[in-house]
Every structure is written in structure tokens, then in C-alpha cells.
Structure 1
Amino acid sequence: MFGSSSSNNSSSKAASNSSVGVDTLIGRQTEILGDVRFTGGLHVDGKIKGKVIASADKAAALSVSEHGTIEGDVRVPNVVLNGVVTGDVHASQKIALSSKARITGNVFYRLIEMESGAKVNGQLVHDDGTGASANFSATAAAPAESDGARGAADELSEARRVKGIVNG
């Protein structure tokens, strides 16, 4: 995605699998207040306070460096994250979370790659394109109210099992 094969940065490695180049760069000293709509490739080294939305193009891609932050929802088909997102992330094609990636919000994805050290404080929701979603909690939450079908012990056991799968 960056066109540079000399970098050892893990987000560059993950991004090199994509054929979309960087059309727009938000520099490290730049802060944008408001929504960002783009086509093609967007790389964020700075800060965005607002939604980040790509066109309907399935090849559109967002990469966020370890210095980049987004405070708002993200709706981009392909995401490579090594920075911070506070908001829900909707990656209709693929999301790659590098070791320094931090998400506080839910992640909706079709295909996910997650390096050791990446953190998601929210739910991972798989979308296989059929409209049916599998929902996984990325953190152990307090047991929900039971309708009598499952006891609190079963719910806690299930939360620990899911946490082990996600973090494991």
C-alpha cells in the first residue's frame, strides 16, 4: 500500500498485501475536526475527530500508523490499523490489527488478522456477507440478565471461553 519495501514497520508489511496506493496522507502534525470521506487509499499519521468513510469501492483502504488516532466511527472496506480508534470499525472486506493497534468500540469484519499485542475493547462481529453475523465479546463482560435458560455460572464460563479464543 505504501510502495516502500525497505520499511520493517509491521503496518507496512500488512499493507503491502493490498493493491491500493495512498492517495491521501494526513500528516503527523495534522488534526482534522469533522468527517473525512475518501476514495482510494488514505493513510493517517495525525488525528481525526470525526467519522472516516470510504466510497462504495471495495478496494478503498485506510491505514493508521502507530502515531495516528481516529475519534469516530470508521466505515472502510479494508483497514490496516497500528494506531488508535475510539469508535466502531466497519471493515466490509478485511481488517489487519498490528501489534500496537487499539480499538475502543465494536469491530465488524469479514476477514480479520490480529497480531499479538493488538487490543480491542468491544465486540468482534463477523459478517460473512449473508446478513447473518456471529458475535464475539472481546472483553469479559458482566453476565447479562438470565431468562432462566442459562444460569450466571454458565454465562461467566462462556464469557471466559470467548475471551480465551479472542485473546488466545
Structure 2
Amino acid sequence: MFSRKKQPPIKSLVAHGTRIDGNVLFGEGMRIDGEVVGDIRSGTEQPSILVISETAQVEGAVHADHVIVNGTVTGPVHAAELLELQPKARITGNVHYKALEMHQGAMITGQMCPLAVVADEKPPLQLSSKTAAPESPTALQ
């Protein structure tokens, strides 16, 4: 999704030294350098990107298509497309992702849950549980 297409623009910023208490709904792109206590969610049907910088602290669930973490997140992280964990990323909570890029030094305290890729894969091969019965010796005569 993001490898060949232009990334969504970052239109929102929570600056260093700023604290938000409450849920945050953003469109297209958002960067967090400060602190958010509450859930952060993309509110559009368009591709979204969320950047949680080295100085950022988030306490709550995170939901976006492309999530880049280099700060601290306490809560579950849901990346519908790509989750990038940079060297100073610290996540306490389960992470859900379609694709994962994890740099040396990043830490997750929780379960890693890859999302099933259904649309891009071929349907699973169904093997028959029935086996052919051997022919009886009388039928060969």
C-alpha cells in the first residue's frame, strides 16, 4: 500500500510539551511528539499514517493503516498495513499488523498478532479426506 504510492501528508501535530487527555481522531497523517492519554484512531477511509516520535508517550489504543513508533506506547497497537518499530520503540500491549518492520533495540511486551492476509492470497488448498478403496480381487477377474 505504502511502498509505491505517495504517503498521506501529516496534517496534525501534538508538539513536545503538549498533553492531551481524551481520545484523538485524525485524518490522513498525524505526528505525536508530546503525550496523549486516550485512544488514537484514524477517522477516514483514506490511507492514514501515524508517527509516534522518540519523545512521545501514548497511553491508549492506537489504530491507523501505517504506524511508525519510536517512543513509548502503553496499550494495543493496530496497524492495518504496516507497523514500523524504530530502535527506541517501547510498546506494552499487543500489536496487530499486516506487515512488520522491527529495528534492533525496539521492545514489545505483549503478543505479536499478524493479521490474516485474505484478499492477496490464493484460497487454501483443500485436500480430500477420502481415499480410494482398493479394487476387490473379484472385480479384476
Same fold (TM over 0.5): yes
Partner of 1:127: 115
| Structure of higher RCO (CA pairs closer than 8 Å, 6+ residues apart) | 2
Give, in whole Å, the separation in 1 of the partners of 2:6 and 2:21.
28
RMSD over aligned Cα atoms: 1.6
Moved over 4 A (4+): none
**TM-score between both structures, scaled by the size of structure 1:** 0.65
Give, in whole Å, the separation in 2 of the partners of 1:129 and 1:106.
19
Give SS of 1:93's match.
strand
Residue of structure 2 aligned with 1:108, choices 63, 81, 96 = 96
**TM-score between both structures, scaled by the size of structure 2:** 0.77
Give, in whole Å, the separation in 2 of the partners of 1:56 and 1:90.
15
* Structure 1: runs of 5 or more not aligned: 1-16, 132-168
Question: Are the counterparts in 2 of residues 58 and 77 from structure 1 also a CA contact under 8 Å?
Answer: no
Give, in whole Å, the separation in 1 of the partners of 2:69 and 2:57.
10
* Pairs aligned (count): 115
Task: Give the helix-richer structure, 1 or 2.
Answer: 1
Q: CA deviation at 1:71?
A: 0.1
Question: Are the counterparts in 2 of residues 58 and 93 from structure 1 also a CA contact under 8 Å?
Answer: no
Question: Are the counterparts in 1 of residues 60 and 76 from structure 2 also a CA contact under 8 Å?
Answer: yes
| One-letter code aligned to 2:102 | M
